[in-house]
């Protein structure tokens, strides 16, 4: 798979500690690219370091980290072929119950951090006619209950991607969005734990309104990711977006994502509401009150 031209090219993959990001970094290295793999901790750097994969400590919300990454690329004579904006957090809670600090955190990581990295690396990408790959989600098109913050940031990322694509296409930079469905990575387990933590802080009135909904959504999340793509399979879609000479503007990853993206535009909002509600209803706890779990920890990998 390696070509002589690829061995001279750099690729940045953010959020490469585990899951899709780690798998994407390794697969791209096997294609002959030199991958700068963004991780947040030294132990993650030790785990990802391998031939063609150079870990860099990168919190995309930290200005100094982003500037250091840009300086590292500026000092390298190899062209920058692609930036893969993959880092992300999943936070699920009802709109009413999610504290504003968490709303801001989700948007800082899932939107503003990607914009900061993209701004910092665009001069190199413009010079080298590279491409930007933004990892969105089916949640970037359709927002389920308790996904307000996560989907809101992904909706915004989709819009920013469209705008950026139209700004830089004539300058030789391609912008691609990848929209995965359920993927078996650690983000699901962390998302369920966070959802339970947030539910434990809801007021009694909020518990009465949303507790059963939170439990149902956690079960749906666990079930959906259990039947989803492996991280390696999702990464292969990202690698295709990176390596294809003339990539599409959007790729789905997984049959669930492809089905939703195909059928969604054919349905009215009310019809889609009924379908999503019926699907979620199957996961509501039987013979239970609406009270959300206080100490439960669901362990599941995505």
Q: Which residues are catalytic?
A: 150
Q: What angle do CA 286, 151, 248 make, to 5 degrees?
A: 125
What token pair was written down for 157? 């990322």
Strand intervals (E) in the chain: 10-13, 34-39, 53-57, 80-85, 131-135, 174-180, 183-184, 229-230, 250-253
What token pair was written down for 287? 């013979």
Which helix (H) or strand (E) segment holds residue 113: the answer is helix 113-128
DSSP 8-state code for residue 198: H
Per-residue exposure over 176-207, b if at least 16 CB sit within 10 Å of its own CB, e if not: bbbbbbbbbbebbbbbbbbbbebbeebeeebb
Residue 280 near residue 217, CB atoms below 8 Å: yes
State the helix-helix crossing angle for 19-30 and 231-243, rounded to 10 degrees.
50
Euclidean distance between CA atoms 145 and 227, whole angstroms: 20
Half-sphere exposure of 72 (CA within 13 A, CB side): 20
**Three-state helix/strand/coil letters over 115-163:** HHHHHHHHHHHHHHCCEEEEECCHHHCCCCCCCHHHHHHHHHHHHHHHH
Overall residue count recorded for the chain in this entry: 302
DSSP 8-state code for residue 225: H
């Amino acid at each position: 798979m390696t070509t002589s031209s690829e061995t001279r090219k750099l690729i940045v993959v953010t959020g490469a500690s585990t899951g899709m990001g780690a798998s994407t970094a390794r697969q791209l290295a096997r294609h002959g690219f030199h991958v700068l793999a963004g991780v947040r901790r030294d132990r993650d750097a030790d785990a990802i370091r391998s031939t063609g994969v150079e870990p860099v400590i990168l919190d995309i919300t930290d200005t100094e980290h982003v500037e250091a990454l840009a300086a590292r690329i500026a000092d390298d004579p190899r062209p920058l072929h692609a930036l893969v904006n993959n880092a992300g957090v999943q936070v699920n809670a009802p709109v009413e119950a999610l504290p504003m600090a968490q709303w801001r955190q989700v948007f800082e990581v899932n939107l503003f951090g990607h914009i900061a990295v993209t701004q910092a690396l665009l001069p190199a990408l413009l010079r080298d006619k590279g491409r930007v790959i933004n990892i969105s989600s089916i949640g970037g098109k359709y927002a389920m209950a308790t996904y307000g913050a996560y989907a809101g940031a992904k909706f915004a990322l989709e819009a920013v991607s469209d705008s950026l694509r139209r700004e830089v296409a004539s300058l030789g930079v391609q912008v691609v969005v990848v929209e995965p469905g359920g993927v078996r990575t650690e983000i699901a387990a962390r998302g369920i734990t966070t959802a339970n933590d947030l539910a434990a802080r809801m007021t009694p009135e909020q518990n009465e309104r949303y507790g059963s909904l939170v439990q149902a959504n956690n079960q749906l999340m666990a079930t959906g990711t259990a039947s989803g793509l492996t991280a390696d399979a999702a990464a292969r879609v990202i690698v295709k977006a990176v390596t294809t000479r003339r990539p599409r503007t959007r790729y789905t990853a997984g049959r669930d994502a492809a089905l939703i993206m195909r059928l969604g535009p054919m349905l009215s909002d009310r019809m889609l509401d009924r379908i999503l509600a019926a699907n979620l209803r199957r996961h509501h706890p039987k013979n239970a009150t609406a009270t959300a779990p206080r100490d439960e920890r669901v362990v599941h990998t995505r």
